[in-house]
Copies of this chain bind each other. A is one copy, B any other.
Amino acid sequence: MTSKKELRWEVGWSNGVQEAPERWVSASVPGAVQLDWARAEQWEDHTYGNNWRQYEWMEDKYWTYRARIPVPVIKEGERLIFVSKGIDYSFHVRVGGSIVWSQEGMFTPVEVDLSEHAGKRDGIALEIIIEPAPKLAGATGRSQAAHSCKPAVSYGWDWHPRLIPLGIWDETYLEVRAAEHIVSAEVRYELTDRLDAATLSLNVRLNADNCAPGELVWRLSDPEGVVMFEKTVSIMGKTVRTEASIENVRLWWPHDHGEQPLYTSEVYWDGSGHSVVHPQKIGFRRAKLIVHEGGWKEPSQFPKSRSLPPITMEINGRAIFCKGTNWVNPSIFPGTITSAYYRSLLALAKSANMNMLRIWGGGIVNKESFFEHCDAMGIMVWQEFPLACNLYPDTPEYLRVLSQEARSIVTRLRKHASVVMWCGGNELFNAWSKMTDQSLPLRLLNSICYEMDPQTPFLSTSPIEGMGHGHYMFRYRTGEDVMEAMPRASNTAYTEFGVPSPASIEQLKTFIPEEELFPPRPGTAWEDHHAFHALSPEMWLMQDQLDYYFGPYETLEQVVEYGQLLQSEGYKCIYEEARRQKPRCSMALNWCYNEPWPTAANNSIVMWPDKPKPAYYAVQASCRPLLASARIPKFVWNEGEWFEPELWVLNDAPVEAQGGRVEACLTIGSEEKVLLLAWDYDEIRPNANRRGPTARYLLPAADAERMTLELIVPGREELSSSYTLLYRAGGRPATSVSSALNFST
């Protein structure tokens, strides 16, 4: 048995590698130096008010962790290894005063053999010295991260304070191993074209060139634990390779398309002193990006350009409409994220009928448990490398670190069934980044993915041509609302789109001092938490839009209600419109799912740490595999206008939908509900929508400010939908025209 030993750590700061800290405080590992220091100083929580500002100085310090290797720790024929799965960001490992390892990069695990230092009387000092956060000279904000593989988000984003975590951020321990042991055992597979059988290849690396003769045992069990085969393989040299085939493979599917059978491979070395089992879960699936149906018909004119690149995800030969979201770091301090926290957020995503998460390149590559949950839950992962909104350079120094980090990332993640796509990073081919297809970092990443995981699609960045990002507001700068704008869009994938809302009152009260709560205004904790001046002066509370649609508010309850209504109706519109545009469109991922700390207003639908907003439930409804849906021409309706919703049944499920009836009913304020139209539809083929008639109704006078369109499917209430719209009696104009005008500048 390998035995793992936790260490007792302390941490302190100084102004140089050679300078010892003056003060040492107790450290939590994994964690972040900032949190250790704050705990020692008994600071209030960093999420409250403007407390985060206290942390700024820490990014420029040298932080040293220290621990003492206990005695005695190993026996004859054993090795003592220091293992860390992640240290953030540039660091040195010092043993007994000498630097034995230096590294840049938080995604490459560290192993240092400390055997020669084991068993010393009083133990020996083990130190990890963390260098100051990397900063590109002359740059400010996120572009300080443009020459490193440090996630850019911590340098400040429109929903993330500038607070750059440093320290040991993933599992870290001492391990006692047999002198000769397995370093890694990985299974890769190839499915037959018919997807009914697989050839598995085992690749084992040993730690020594000439291990004693012996035999490895390789066993594969099916999802119920029944052993499918057990092979013994003779050890010859430093690597062991062997193959095996299995028939009647049960395929892994996204949760809305099938089961998630996970097989288990186990490898162990019977003859060695420590019989350590190296397990691996395997979900068999084939992932491809294919051109959407009809895509090859374009372009049709001369001079003729290329057809659009493929972005329809095909799993096991089936085109899947990807409904999901953009995942951001769920904490400012990734070192504190636990498996249980990941599980909580992922279970919510699955429950919202989401089958894909885009892991945005501005943030971290998540810890192992994240992917284990996604494998088990049937959630597809689009994994980006840590590049976002910057011009990452062609220099050999950067390419060396990127290559190291990317290889570590692909080595760790390629075994996960859930990881169906690699992507170079976020918005790299736009004006604010200025990278191109010729940029060497992206050609490097494409090469590494081709070499190490060629069967998984690779996208240079998002968006590429055909795909769209944005908009990020209910009412566009052109003056039209999202319901007017979206039907005219014709993108192949909407991989970012947002509508902001304030957090709930309960949430706001946890981090905004009571005296600042109302009215919301710049210069308070509202601004610290991104309600003002986050990207533009109005973002993300969008007070101008609340004014425009609802008139001046009088209470905090109104602010929250108005904003959350816009967010819910806006997201419903975009998800459902994207689905209506199938098959040209095959993906709808909103910006963003979660948040790293409590924001006062944000595009997120889940508040920190894992509390759904009303929009979460709206999205959940719009992402049902089968539902009645309406294309509604606009948000604000006036007395005397023709109200003309277009009726649809949307079906993303892999099964035929039975026929039924949709009753479109309108309720204006407290007036009686009116049946606009009853539409009988026939059965609908799998993964296809049905476009129905347009109802038409002359809006009568009423004493009301809102109206509700309900689509009722009698006998199948689970398919029914509801939309809240604004109603204006007497054709009265927008309450706040001047604010609208200001807004369009």
Contacts and interface: CB of A to CB of B under 8 A. Distances in A.
Interface of A: 288-289, 291, 296-297, 302-307, 309-310, 429-431, 434, 436-438, 440, 443-444, 446-447, 450-451, 454, 457-461, 463-471, 476, 485, 489, 491, 494, 497
13 contacts: A291-B434, A302-B485, A303-B489, A303-B491, A303-B494, A305-B466, A305-B469, A306-B461, A309-B429, A310-B436, A437-B460, A446-B447, A447-B447
Contacts of A467: 305-306
B471 A307 contact: no
A488 B212 CA distance: 75
Nearest to A437: B309
B437 A310 contact: yes
Contact of A457 (B431, B438, B457): B438
B440 A443 contact: no
A144 to B, nearest CB: 21
A304 B469 CA distance: 5
A431 B431 CA distance: 30
A489 B303 CA distance: 7
Contacts of A307: 429-431
Instruction: Report the copy number of this chain in the oligomer.
Output: 2
Contact of A430 (B304, B429, B436, B459): B304
Nearest to A486: B303
A431 B465 CA distance: 17
Contacts of A458: 438, 443
Contacts of A306: 429-430, 461, 463-465, 467
Q: Which of A296, A303, A446 has the largest number of chain B CB atoms within 10 A?
A: A303
Contact of A291 (B436, B451, B459, B471): B436
Given A443-B450, A451-B447, A304 B470 contact: yes
| 10 closest residue pairs by CB, A with B | A303-B468, A306-B429, A302-B471, A447-B447, A296-B431, A302-B470, A443-B450, A465-B465, A309-B437, A310-B436
A461 B470 CA distance: 29
A463 B309 contact: no
Given A297-B431, A443-B450, A465 B497 contact: no
**Listed residue (A302, A443, A471, A497) with the most chain B CB atoms within 10 angstroms of its CB:** A302
Contacts of A460: 437
A438 B305 contact: no
B443 A454 contact: yes
Contacts of A443: 446, 450, 454, 458
Contacts of A476: 302
Contacts of A470: 302-304
A471 B305 CA distance: 11
A451 B403 CA distance: 12
Q: Which of A297, A306, A444, A464 has the most CB of B within 10 A?
A: A306
Q: Counting chain B CB atoms within 10 Å of each CB, which of A297, A430, A431 scores highest?
A: A431
Given A303-B497, A306-B465, A446-B447, 11 more contacts: A296-B434, A303-B471, A304-B430, A305-B466, A306-B429, A306-B461, A437-B464, A440-B450, A443-B458, A444-B450, A446-B446
A459 B460 CA distance: 14
A296 B469 CA distance: 16
Contacts of A466: 305
A637 B431 CA distance: 44
A485 B33 CA distance: 65
A467 B302 CA distance: 11
A443 B297 CA distance: 24
Contacts of A457: 438
A468 B667 CA distance: 53
B309 A468 contact: no
Nearest to A432: B296
Nearest to A288: B438
A493 to B, nearest CB: 10
A440 B437 CA distance: 17
